[in-house]
Amino acid sequence: MGTVYTKDIKRMAELIYEKYTEEVTSDYQKNKELVKKVVNVNSKTVRNRLAGYLTRYYNKAKNKSAAQETFEEETESYA
């Protein structure tokens, strides 16, 4: 079974993504530095979980937008 993130981790990562969309990447280490800069968290574990979920959330959002574009292109070709 995979790791389940708490609602707090998810909420904070989504807020960081919304506010710093241009700085978030698919690279875990860069996101880790971003979280360190943006959020004042003393716990290394929480900071790492935030960076990990932020990376996953970014990839998920990126894939979703790519799938949406593909769908729109396919529907235009049928019209």
Please report, in tens digits, the pLDDT of each residue of the chain (79 residues total). 566 778 999 999 999 999 999 999 999 999 999 999 999 989 999 999 999 999 999 999 988 877 766 766 666 666 5
The pTM assigned to this predicted structure is 0.79
Distance CA 11, CA 33 (A): 19
Cα of 34 vs its chain's centroid, Å: 12
Rg (CA), the chain: 15
In the block, tokens 């574990």 appear at: 45
Structure tokens, 67: 């799938």
**What was the pLDDT predicted at 33?**
96
DSSP state of 25: -
Architecture of domain 7-19+26-78: Orthogonal Bundle (1.10)
**What was the pLDDT predicted at 67?**
72
**What was the pLDDT predicted at 79?**
58
**What was the pLDDT predicted at 48?**
95
